[in-house]
Amino acid sequence: MTKTALQKRAIPQPVRSRTARIYQIKSSRELTRDTPPKSAPYRDSVCALCEKMVALHLDVSLGALRAPTRRNADIALARQIAMYLAHTTFSLPLTEVGIYFKRDRTTVTHACAVVENRRDSMSFEVTVSQLESLLIEVRSAVETAVLDKNGAINFPSETI
């Protein structure tokens, strides 16, 4: 077999770049994603839900959470919890969470690490667990919802 014949075979080969985990070459002309990205409306609604739940639960204003600066430690921690919940509960990529919160993905990584490290404290663990369970319930209710012919969302009676 010649070298050109080997190059034309449709054998998946990993791409040797920073996108190696996302992309694979299926043939010489085709580039596909391993996992499709979440849509921007999905990302925005999920992150907004996490942000609002954290703001209500921790009694922090949404304006303070959305501020471009760090503000004080309590507000920064609330924002970190919201980023953590969006990433872990809804499986949003760090980059997508960062886009919504107007932060870099490394900042989101740091936020997740901070929340994980602080979960050793019992009171903090209870707070984060309560928020997680609420968001998981919301996610499962939305996943089982059915659209009617007019586009309205109908929840099955056992999920409410």
- The answer to whether residue 15 sits within a structural domain is no
Q: How far is CA 122 from CA 83, 127, 136, in A?
A: 20, 9, 21
Q: What is the mean pLDDT of the chain?
A: 78
Average pLDDT, integer, range 116-145: 90
- The answer to whether residue 3 sits within a structural domain is no
Over 90: is that where the pLDDT of 57 sits? yes
- The answer to whether residue 12 sits within a structural domain is no
CATH of the domain at 61: 1.10.1750.10
- The answer to whether residue 115 sits within a structural domain is yes
- The answer to whether residue 28 sits within a structural domain is no
Residue 143 has a pLDDT of: 75
- The answer to whether residue 157 sits within a structural domain is no
Range of the domain at 113: 40-147
User: Count of domains in the chain?
Assistant: 1
Cα–Cα nearest to 141, from 156, 120, 130, 119 = 156
- The answer to whether residue 74 sits within a structural domain is yes
Average pLDDT, integer, range 44-66: 93
User: What whole-number percentage of the chain has pLDDT above 90?
Assistant: 52
